[in-house]
Amino acid sequence: MINTLENKVVVITGASSGIGRATALLLATKGCQVVLASRDNVALEKVAQTIKERGGMCEIVPTDVRDEESVKSLFRRVIELHGRVDILVNSAGIGIYGSTVEASVEEWDQVINTNLKGVFLCTREALSYMTKQRNGHIISIASKAGEYGLPKLSVYCASKFGVIGFSQAVNKEVASLGIKISYLCPGYVETKFLDVFPREIISKANKARPDDIAKEIYSIIISEKNRAQGSKTIKYLIRRLVHHVIPQDWHNYMLV
């Protein structure tokens, strides 16, 4: 079987931990040239070391997805190194748990700027090159919390609802250019974010591993032969993952 990902240039934000790290490790084993982006340079070095020990290819570009110039610098560096960008995985994300009246403006800004503004900035920069290439694939990590509102997650929900709406809108802009736009709505994933939840909720929740989500991302990337079928990807994911009514045992289904 031909490896369709051999030497593909993949930019992954939030690559220092969690879903981003797992995705970087997996795609590197598939022959991708992975660009690791995160604010945590020490953790990135460890991820890069693991990739290289396994025979993979990667570069580190410390990046703050909340900062426009930092994001521009990331993609300039990618183009300097590789001359193109084939895939972007928007995985950087943070969250808070608590009532809306207890949330501070600072917390709102941190979550929105990372989860939504970061997706916007990285997507915009990637598209500036992908539109010239007439191909590319952007995958953003949304959440079940982006499909319906959940108690004590109003700020996080706002950011992930935004990711979904943004992805759907961008898809309609660029599908005819051979660029695919996808988003994934995982549930509880065994990452640092779970530390903010009460123990009684987490103990009842069905949890996925970052590796599980990385495999789903890989499946999305290789599943479409027609580069112009971004809308089909989104519709497929909606049919597969959306719950239109909040179930009583919502803690078993909410993906974060």
Q: Which two tokens stand for residue 157?
A: 């929900």
Q: What are phi and psi of 254, to 5 degrees?
A: -65, 125
| 218 catalytic per annotation | no
Nearest by Cα to 256 from 147, 168, 171, 167: 147
Beta strand 57-60 with 33-37 is: parallel
Given the residues 156, 183, 188, 253, select the one marked as catalytic.
Answer: 156
CA dihedral 238, 244, 248, 253 (to 10 degrees): 10
For residue 121, give the amino acid letter: L
Cβ–Cβ < 8 Å for 224, 236: no
**CA dist., res. 35 & res. 28, Å (int):** 10
**CA dist., res. 152 & res. 169, Å (int):** 27
Cβ–Cβ < 8 Å for 92, 113: no
Q: Which residues carry out catalysis?
A: 156
